[in-house]
Amino acid sequence: MKLHQASHKACCTPTRGLIDRPDCAEQKTPTSSDGRPDLDTAVIPGGNAILGTRFPLIPNDGEESRKAPVLRQFRMTTTTITNAEYAAFVQSTGYVTDAEQYGWSFVFWAQLPDSTSETQAVAGTEWWRKVEGANWRHVAGPGSEADWQPDHPVVHVSWNDAKAFASWVGGRLPTEAEWEHAARGGLGDIPYPWGTREPDDETFQPCNIWQGRFPQDNLALDGHLTTAPAKSFEPNGFGLYNMVGNVWEWAAEPYKIPSLKRAVRQKLASMKGFKLLKGGSFLCHQTYCWRYRIAARSGASPDTSLAHQGFRVVFDK
């Protein structure tokens, strides 16, 4: 296998960090079933899951092989939840997302329309901007509407927002073991849903990631500057689309790293309460973060929302 351990920079994902939370009443989980969309799902066979990998590229993220549970059969949405599907949820329940409550969200600089003003760069990841009025309806802030891309992944949804939608449709967020088991598509300890071949900027673009020099020049050789439609590229062996690239996906559990290294313990101390993210996004590139792999991991506070984060849902029956 060509993959080798390398030193990569921290994932380019800022977080709210549970600070400056608006003084809003906590929302109850919506219970109305009116308007629930008919979600396309795939049956994921149970069995012995593989969690992590024998070939970790970023060990300090906790990518190494770990003890995995024996999974029961479950169903998973074949794509991440789309703008149209999330709109049905909001229309039926009146749910207000964290980004809408805060009044702002994180947007990648190249997505900003010319009309956007008073943006604030995020220290350490200056390509991210804190944009007033950015949320799932207005992906790049005021003047950018999500309803003209109904089949794209809904973004600017926090872990809280994703969990609320999943409960509304009678499902839940996947565990990391379920997510990795589904992403492998029955192929074992592979780095990518399609196998072992690495994407490159010249001849092989099997998923929506960054091509070119990050963060200045995206060549968009895969056909997409930002998000692609949720049902893009070839599905894996279980019929699932975009399990890596396109948008990061929330998982059910906290972001934890089993490690005795002091540097890792210090890192985790600053991430208390964070939730797990899987799959990478359209902003990932091999020269920067290289987290568009099945075993790759990241985390953010459960109220964090960004222009490259989404989710999918699993069902027990």
The domain locations on the chain are 41-315
What predicted TM-score, i.e. pTM, was given to this entire model? 0.90
What confidence tier does 3 reach under pLDDT thresholds 50, 70, 90? Answer: very low
Mean pLDDT value of segment 234-238: 98
Q: What is the C-alpha to C-alpha distance for residues 270 and 141, in angstroms, rounded to an integer?
A: 29
Judge whether residue 2 has pLDDT over 50.
no
Q: What is the C-alpha to C-alpha distance for residues 302 and 305, in angstroms, rounded to an integer?
A: 9
Judge whether residue 175 has pLDDT over 70.
yes
Mean pLDDT value of segment 116-120: 67
Judge whether residue 6 has pLDDT over 80.
no
What CATH topology corresponds to 41-315? paralog of FGE (formylglycine-generating enzyme) (3.90.1580)
Q: What integer pLDDT is reported at residue 41 of this predicted model? A: 99
What confidence tier does 5 reach under pLDDT thresholds 50, 70, 90? Answer: very low
Among 59-73, 84-98, 117-131, 235-249, the minimum mean pLDDT is found in 117-131
Judge whether residue 250 has pLDDT over 60.
yes
Residue 176 CB neighbours (<10 A):
22
What confidence tier does 115 reach under pLDDT thresholds 50, 70, 90? Answer: low
